[in-house]
Structure 1
Amino acid sequence: MQLTDVIAQIFNPGLAMLPLAMNTPKARVQLLAMTLQEDPEQRRRQMGNGPARGLWQFERGGGVKGVMSHHATTGHAHRLCAERGVPWDAAAIWARLELDDLLACGFARLLLYSDPKPLPATDDADAGWELYMRTWRPGQPHPEKWPGNHAAARRALGL
């Protein structure tokens, strides 16, 4: 899938299920750069059948649990799950993330929303990296890939 397809087929409808204020260029750059970082081949399942699922590689006890339980995101997540027909259960949500890119997009945006700091400027790759590290806490972060992924996201979004 090309980045333009990700934007048209996943970002546009996925972010439309959340409040309009969450659909910003800053959020889109961060989300696109992070899916390039997390799942560059768009397999939606962690290599070696690891614990992460979806385009943003959520773990059941990590990102899924965090979005479900955070005071700023739980209500939005409830509505998103209802709209996508997913039971309010961490195991069910986690399993569905591998198959439902719109749900994955929504959960990824909500995890960013749970961060107390404002989203970084679209051209601030360093602050984007810091946000990624704070919110995703990747086990194998690959910092050398982030600048290229961030730049690719900005190009794909015309920024």
Structure 2
Amino acid sequence: MLLSKIRAAAIAPALALLPARMTSPQAEAMLLAIGLQESGLIHRRQIGGPARGLFQFEQGGGVRGVMRHPLSRSHALAVCTVQGVEPTEAAVHAALEHDDILAAAFARLLLWTDPAPLPAVGEVGKAWDLYLRTWRPGKPHRNRWDACYAQAMDALEVTA
């Protein structure tokens, strides 16, 4: 999927549902890079696995974390209401496969739960570290991250 399309159709509307302080070029860079890393921004159902959505959330992992974390819970419930999704882990997990706005909002909220500030755009190593801390991928592929992050930065420059 074109990054400009995902920004316009999923990320921008998702960020509009969240407090303004969650919107920044750093947040967009992380969301794009993670989406590219996790699904190529193509697969909404993990190949051979349980994850759902463009950002590949598992029900007992990212969904549960966002739904229960004190920094994200109220925002997650509000997003569920707006998107017409029952605010349960099972319902959110199922909806992520078809609702890119919900997926992007939950991805931003998962990043929000990390106590460190978002890395500046271009801080590839720090961005990788944040991805590892928040997504906790079972099989991290560092060799792909730099290219994914570079694509995200290129997408941000197009509209800057």
TM-score computed with the length of structure 2 as normaliser: 0.97
Structure 1 partner of 2:30: 30
RMSD value over aligned CA atoms? 0.9
1:52 aligns to what SS in structure 2?
coil
- In structure 2, relative to structure 1, the CA distance for the partners of 1:138 and 1:73 (3 Å cut) is same
Deviation at 1:43, TM superposition (A): 1.4
Large movers: runs of 4+ above 2 Å: none
Mind listing any 5+ residue stretches in structure 1 that lack a counterpart? none
Q: Give 1:32 deviation, angstroms.
A: 0.3
Match for residue 115 of structure 1? 114
Alignment partners' CA distance in 2, 1:9 and 1:126: 28
Structure 1 segment 65-104 matched on structure 2, within 5 A:
65-104=64-103
Q: Sort the Cα spacing of 1:70 and 1:4 in 2 relative to 1 into closer, same or farther, 3 A.
A: same
Q: CA deviation at 1:41?
A: 5.2
- d(CA) in 1 for partners of 2:32, 2:5: 12
Q: Deviations over 1:54-90 (max 9, x none)?
A: 0000000000000000000000001000000111110
Q: Which runs of 5+ in 2 are unaligned?
A: none
Query: What is the DSSP-based 3-state SS (H/G/I as helix, E as strand, rest coil) of the residue aligned with 2:122?
Result: coil
1:42 corresponds to which letter in structure 2? Answer: I
Q: Could you tell me how far apart the structure 1 residues matched to 2:41 and 2:134 are?
A: 21
Partner of 2:60 in structure 1? 61
Residue 87 of structure 2 aligns to a residue whose secondary structure is: coil
Quote the Cα distance in structure 1 between the aligned partners of 2:87 and 2:12: 24
Instruction: Compute the TM-score of the two structures, normalised by the length of structure 1.
Output: 0.97
User: Alpha-carbon deviation of 1:144?
Assistant: 0.2
What is the identity percentage for the equivalent residue pairs of Structure 1 and Structure 2?
A: 51
1:129 aligned partner: 128
Provide the aligned length of Structure 1 versus Structure 2.
Answer: 158
Report the Cα distance in structure 1 between the residues aligned to 2:41 and 2:64, rounded to whole angstroms: 25
Q: Distance in 1 between matches of 2:41 and 2:7?
A: 16
Partner of residue 51, structure 1: 50
Q: By how many angstroms is 1:9 displaced? A: 1.0
Residue number in structure 2 paired with 1:7: 7
Query: How many Å separate the matches in 1 of 2:41 and 2:139?
Result: 16
